[in-house]
Amino acid sequence: MIKVKGLKKQYAGTTALHIPEMEIVAGESFGLIGNNGAGKTTFFRLILDLLAATEGEVISKNVQVSQSEEWKKYTGSYLDEGFLIEYLSPAEYFNFIGSLHGMNLEDLTGFYHQLDGFASEELYQNRKPIRALSKGNKSKVGIIAALMGNPEIVVLDEPFAHLDPSSQISLKRLLKRVNTEKNVTLLVSSHDLTHVTEVCNRIVLLESGLIIRDFATTHDTMRELEAYFTH
The whole-angstrom separation of Cα 21 and Cα 207 is 16
Q: Is the pTM higher than 0.85? A: yes
The whole-angstrom separation of Cα 48 and Cα 155 is 9
Q: Sheet of 14-24: strands edge to edge?
A: 14-24, 2-11, 55-60, 63-64
For 150, left (φ over 0), alpha (ψ -120 to 50), or beta? left
Mean predicted lDDT score pLDDT of the chain? 93
The whole-angstrom separation of Cα 195 and Cα 31 is 10
Domain boundaries, the chain: 2-229
Helix/strand/coil (H/E/C) assignment for every residue in 136-188? HHHHHHHHHHHHCCCCCEEEEECCCCCCCHHHHHHHHHHHHHHHHHHCCEEEE
Task: Decide which of 3.40.50.300, 1.10.1060.10, 3.30.365.10, 1.10.1040.50 is the CATH code for 2-229.
Answer: 3.40.50.300
The whole-angstrom separation of Cα 225 and Cα 38 is 15
Q: Specify the DSSP class assigned to residue 66.
A: G
Residue 32 pairs in a beta bridge with 189, 204
- Helix-strand-coil percent breakdown of the chain, rounded to 5? 40, 25, 35
The whole-angstrom separation of Cα 187 and Cα 30 is 5
- pLDDT on residue 117: 83
Amino acid at 99: S
Q: Give tens-digit pLDDT for 144-196.
A: 999 999 999 999 999 999 999 999 999 999 999 999 999 999 999 998 999 99
Residue 55 pairs in a beta bridge with 8
- pLDDT on residue 136: 95
Contact (Cβ atoms closer than 8 angstroms) between residue 142 and residue 83: yes
The whole-angstrom separation of Cα 164 and Cα 141 is 14
Q: 231 pLDDT exceeds 80?
A: no
